Chain A
Amino acid sequence: MINTKDILETVAMIQDENLDIRTVTMGISLLDCIDPDIDRACEKVYAKICEKAKDLVPVCEEIEKTYGIPIINKRIAVTPIAMLTAACKGQDPVKFALTLERSARTVGVNFIGGYSALVQKGFAAGDRELIASIPEALSQTEHVCASVNIGSTKAGINMDAVAMMGGVVRRAAEITADRQCIGAAKLVVFCNAPEDNPFMAGAFHGVGEADTVINVGVSGPGVVRAALAKLPKDAPIDQVAELVKKTAFKITRMGQLVAKEASARLGMSFGIVDLSLAPTPAVGDSVAHILEEMGLEQCGCCGTTACLALLNDAVKKGGVMASGHIGGLSGAFIPVTEDAGMIDAATCGTLIIEKLEAMTAVCSVGLDMINIPGDTPAEVISAIIADEAAIGMVNSKTTACRLIPAIGKTVGDTLSFGGLLGEGPVMAVNTKSPAIFIHRGGRLPAPMQSLKN
């Protein structure tokens, strides 16, 4: 029989430390739904999603019961819709968003991602139309998430797209201003977007993927924090790293088990396990609190970047042996409004946007869920996106921006989204104008790191 201590440890992780499977995300290719008649294409999309994902929610619920492990979200990621709009010249891409919404409601998933365009090197047919329609699409739907990849280490940064996205982010917030600007919280601007990411709002189903695939995202900041809390305060930092590694291993093993089981029961191929530490606003489920447990007075103080670098690396090292296929973002997330510790640190001014930018150079994502003043000009938003994309491009890693302009609000006010998206203070941004730089447009050349062949 298994060791009593191990059994009780697992039960405590789930019951007391918020260990859960954050998401089981089914990737569905829509390449076979392309049709020049948008209404026909929408019908095909609806039919395919409903057919492939009809058992997703019941199967996940069955697995939850069998293993006693909560699966918080069931989601769908589809082929970037810009590839479908390419065939539908002059027709309104929002129809696709409404179709995705209808499919999500039919199969009962929490989110559906893939209202996306990949424009890192340039715009293809349908890309501009889709990007321009994102604000409208997000305001008319509840479950649909959008993302745009505007740069990569291989291609450089598409500065025309960067300029465009500043306006799109603002517009997405403006037309949902009566709903806490929620539109912008469902829109991610990527550099080096992964094609198998199960996490929202940036999930989409890459073109190199199989027709359908199951990707699983694990969670568990609370478990890591609880493990670290038991370590003496004078333990050397290598012991901290070792402990994070061991904990990440256990968490990922659980993800691997669920991924294997879900893909077998659904008769689909198993894609990847994304071993990210994804916080929630719940007490005891915070990445900031892990950093504080390592010995920082508050997240955002000097030393935060170093602690986060250790955490991100140790999570990968621990998780990589635990699963056959690791992918997605895999690391530590730092979404401000979704993390109780980050919310506190941002509210009292310890955590500022410039520090967050430095942190994004060593963690797995980027400037995530950050509320900025409602009067921030589109050019400034574009410039923040450009900075973030440059960090990703040069470091050959994914970076992203999910900024929420708090329309009608300013520094010190709060936006409250509820649920997993949480709430947070509006944070100050540097208001000196980068307008001339942004309006230059063009393509920022790929760095030396791209020449690996």
Chain B
Amino acid sequence: MRAVITVVGKDTVGILAKVSNLCAENGANIIDVTQTVMQDLFCMIMLCETEKMSAGFSEFVDKAEALGKDMGLRIHVMHEDIFNSMHRI
């Protein structure tokens, strides 16, 4: 299964590092990353493999959200299929 991680918020130092660190700690393999900074707003989308994750998926979701709260960002982890089903026929 593949998950999409979205990170939106005010740009600060080390966002990419902290989020990738979280993935590494939990065994989520990052496949693709896109990021843009529009004016002050940081926006990153990460696609990762979650098959070999050490923690359970819902635990990972909670950890990501908690990290977001700490950094004042909105971090969401969602199964890739929700985007595929919504935007592709």
B79 CB-CB contact with A under 8 Å: yes
Contacting pair B86 A8 (CB below 8 A): no
Chain A residues 1-54 with CB under 8 Å of chain B are 1-4, 6-11, 15
Cβ-defined partner of B82 (8 Å) among A1, A62, A68, A321: A68
A260 nearest CB neighbor, chain B only: B85
Chain B nearest CB, measured from A41 CB (Å): 39
Are the C-beta atoms of A66 and B84 separated by less than 8 Å? no
**Are A2 and B87 in touch, CB under 8 angstroms?**
yes
Give the complex CA separation of A414 and B36 in angstroms.
50
A65: CB under 8 A from chain B?
yes
Shortest B36–chain A CB gap in Å is 8
The answer on a CB contact under 8 Å between A2 and B57 is: no
State the CA gap A321–B84 with chains docked (Å): 15
Interface band, chain B: 20 to 34
| B39 on interface, CB distance cutoff 8 Å | no
Kindly supply a per-residue 1/0 record for chain A positions 127-141, scoring 1 wherever the CB is within 8 Å of any chain B CB and 0 otherwise.
Answer: 000000000000000
Contacts of A69 in B (CB 8 A): 78, 82
Enumerate A216-261 residues with CB–CB distance to B below 8 Å. Answer: 250, 253-254, 256-257
Interface size class of A (residues with CB under 8 A): 20 to 34
Q: Which of B58, B78, B85 has the most CB of A within 10 A?
A: B85
Q: Which of B14-43 contact A (CB under 8 A)?
A: 32, 34, 36, 43
Given contacts A2-B83, A250-B86, whether A68 and B76 have CB atoms under 8 Å apart is yes
Residues of B contacting A62 in the complex (Cβ-Cβ under 8 angstroms): 58
A68 CB contact (under 8 Å) in B34, B36, B43, B77: B77
CA distance A69 to B83 in the complex (A): 11
For B82, list chain A residues within 8 Å (CB).
10, 67-69, 254, 257
Q: A1-B34, A68-B76 are in contact. Are A10 and B86 (CB under 8 A)?
A: yes
Smallest distance from the beta carbon of A138 to chain B beta carbons, Å? Answer: 37
Q: How far is the CA of A62 from the CA of B4 in the complex (A)?
A: 17
* Known A253-B86, A257-B81; contact A15-B74, beta-carbon cutoff 8 A: yes
Whether, in the assembled complex, B80 has its beta carbon less than 8 Å from a beta carbon of chain A, the answer is yes
B87 near A65: Cβ-Cβ < 8 Å: no
Interface flags for B41-77 (1: CB within 8 Å of A; 0: not) read 0010101000000000110010000000000001011
Q: How far is A11 from B84 in the complex, measured between Cα atoms in Å?
A: 13
Q: A: which residues have CB within 8 A of B? A: 1-4, 6-11, 15, 62, 65-69, 250, 253-254, 256-257, 321
Instruction: Sample 27 A-B pairs with CB under 8 A, ordered by A number.
Output: A1-B32, A1-B45, A1-B47, A2-B83, A4-B34, A4-B45, A6-B87, A7-B45, A7-B83, A8-B8, A10-B78, A10-B82, A10-B86, A11-B76, A15-B74, A65-B57, A66-B78, A66-B79, A67-B79, A67-B81, A67-B82, A68-B61, A68-B76, A68-B79, A68-B82, A250-B87, A257-B82
Q: Interface on B for A, CB 8 Å cutoff?
A: 4, 6, 8, 32, 34, 36, 43, 45, 47, 57-58, 61, 74, 76-87, 89
Given contacts A4-B34, A6-B87, A15-B76, 7 further A-B contacts (CB under 8 A): A2-B87, A3-B87, A10-B87, A11-B76, A68-B79, A253-B85, A253-B86
